[in-house]
Chains A and B, each alone.
Chain A
């Protein structure tokens, strides 16, 4: 207890499909929390369970230490920003934003003041009388935010709010949302399938697969210390290499291709212990070094594919029995570029290897 939103062993099935399959989560007050996962993983259903649009098949949701069982959406201390914004088309901006105030018995002057404040907060000052149909996608998004925030909910729920916007506007709204969240101090729960969105915006992220939470961590831990291969490959890229355990004391001694014989700290080993092990390394933790360099532990390989992204270049390298090893290289000052077919040498940052028991 003590956390603002507490999801306790919640199941939700639609017919034969278990959309949410035993989820427990705790979300602290003031956090920007993301539910991340591929489509169909149950993240939106979980959000709708918190909002009250769905009722759990079993399990409970607590908000501010009170059970939400049997509490209808209109009586919950949550407000939601819908994926398609759900702006009321027959009302103008002002009427949309003031929609929820009607039941709060505030007088007219107070209401107008609140509406103006809310519109200013989302950067729509002066558009009070604009018709809902005359709004752009980004403006609808802001009206939806203002309409929810004006009610000062304990929790603001956001259902893929940025997926309908173009890339430039999406990035702008990401940082605006983050600033807005800090400014108002309300707990945000964001549903997204975009791992970069989750990483850049959130304090904590829960990664969901098949109705279950696979890992719940800070963005940094999620990327640097994924606890399963599935999470590791969903968030960014990772190359996996088979290894064999050859010794174990307070560290793990592992032998594998490319890395040779290495020791891995126990805190970087995940899964049930077994003899077989899979080593994982992120593309930017491997560097291509010039042939003339004198450093040790070099491995030679051959470039088989190059993808240029502007600020970075991704290389696919074949290396002994390893068919493809992904390397990401910053295109900063002095960085050499390589082409397909070129023989090169690699240096891996051995401290950043993680191991998954297979």
Chain B
């Protein structure tokens, strides 16, 4: 390894510190006994975590977030699966065009998506509630779902489907007995990633939520009360942990999807 190798190593380590150090502050302060978020630390406590147990609005927000995350990841995964299935197997006019537009939310600023959805919903006279957030999140997650499912379907050998039809199975039976089991890891990866994305999402939820807030919106509202800050830190710590677990699971499934299918050939 030469000088440039050493330089790259230092660069990589610095980069990782820069990326993750702020997130590390969260768990540190969530166990600090002082209400003021500053060094030096004053003492160890699990009190902030205990306090979480008694905040009913928090529980309500958590429940809302779970409903939104679960529904939008399921909707996005169903739609994404259908979209990538059709794009990987069939050719139809306007295919590339419509795919580009479905993937657009990946690059559109969320605030634009949030504001425009809000305008549309208001113009249509639809009420703002959890389902409008689900709508926004589904739109946001679908591109990720499509990208994951695209790779799952592209790795799927078409002759497996033909073999199933050839052996007398109907197209629906083929989907159930061959296609679904083989893209199942991709579906799991899409569900988990979608769930995580929705759980953490703030901007769209902020615009589209009515009286029922989601967890990130609730946390944001807490910042008006400095006393609540350590509790927020505790909550943030838990959220980071949950996200990490979900993302690792998602990555595990995504890799398994890639592995089971390449080892066939």
The answer, among B160, B163, B182, for a CB contact under 8 Å with A80, is: B163
Knowing A53-B162, A73-B162, A84-B157 are in contact, say whether A89-B167 is a contact too (CB < 8 A). Answer: no
B165 touches A72 (CB 8 A): yes
Residues on A with beta carbons closer than 8 Å to the beta carbon of B170: 74
B16 part of interface (Cβ distance < 8 Å): no
A86 touches B165 (CB 8 A): no
- List the one stretch of A95-103, A198-206, A207-215, A219-227 in contact with chain B: A95-103
A60 part of interface (Cβ distance < 8 Å): no
- List the one stretch of B18-26, B95-103, B257-265 in contact with chain A: B257-265
The answer, among B157, B159, B165, B260, for a CB contact under 8 Å with A73, is: B165
B47 part of interface (Cβ distance < 8 Å): no
B163 touches A90 (CB 8 A): no
B87 part of interface (Cβ distance < 8 Å): no
Residues on B with beta carbons closer than 8 Å to the beta carbon of A89: 160, 182, 260-261, 263-264
Knowing A87-B264, A90-B260 are in contact, say whether A99-B166 is a contact too (CB < 8 A). Answer: no
- Within A62-87, the residues touching B (CB, 8 Å) are 72-75, 78-80, 82-84, 86-87
Complex Cα spacing A53 to B164, Å: 12
A78 touches B166 (CB 8 A): yes
Complex Cα spacing A88 to B173, Å: 14
B166 touches A74 (CB 8 A): yes
A103 touches B178 (CB 8 A): no
The answer, among A53, A83, A151, for a CB contact under 8 Å with B167, is: A151
- Chain A residues with a Cβ closer than 8 Å to the other chain, count: 27
A88 touches B160 (CB 8 A): yes
The answer, among A82, A100, A102, for a CB contact under 8 Å with B159, is: A82
- Within A81-124, the residues touching B (CB, 8 Å) are 82-84, 86-90, 99-100, 102-104
Residues on A with beta carbons closer than 8 Å to the beta carbon of B226: none
B264 touches A73 (CB 8 A): no
Residues on A with beta carbons closer than 8 Å to the beta carbon of B261: 89
Complex Cα spacing A143 to B159, Å: 15
B162 touches A103 (CB 8 A): no
Known pairs A74-B166, A79-B167, A99-B164 / 5 extra A-B pairs, C-beta < 8 Å = A78-B166, A82-B163, A88-B163, A90-B182, A102-B169
Chosen A-B contacts, 12 in total, with CB atoms closer than 8 Å, are A53-B165, A74-B166, A78-B166, A80-B163, A84-B157, A86-B159, A88-B163, A89-B182, A90-B181, A100-B169, A102-B169, A147-B167
Chain B residues with CB under 8 Å of chain A are 157, 159-160, 162-171, 173, 177-178, 181-182, 260-261, 263-265
